[in-house]
Amino acid sequence: MAEAVNFYAAWQPVRINVGGGSTSSDYGIETGFFINSTGLQWTSSPGNAGAAQDEFGGWLVCNWWHEEPQLFFRNIYYNTPKLFTPCSCADVYLIPEFV
């Protein structure tokens, strides 16, 4: 995830790196990727994925700056009644394929 980058938007660019979790010693929070029934997920709140304090709201693929499909993650801490999806984006699931 592109953590510690403030884009002031409800979605942010993604960098997926194995072992890319981080820990905050101030709060005892560990972030990272995991796989569940809907595919690859990320959480800012392990053990409470999907809880109110978790920032992850799903994946978006958008035709964005480079005129190529780009992967973004949706922030859910914005207090909106319905998550807005730009017209050049689509909600997607990242399903692992094991070879």
Pick the range with the lowest mean pLDDT from 20-24, 57-61, 66-70.
20-24
Task: Give the sign of the dihedral formed by CA 70, CA 16, CA 91, CA 50.
Answer: negative
pLDDT at 77: 64
- pTM as predicted: 0.64
The rounded distance, in Å, linking the Cα atoms of 89 and 62 is 4
Q: CA 81, CA 79: separation in Å to the nearest integer?
A: 7
Q: Compute the average pLDDT of residues 39-65.
A: 77
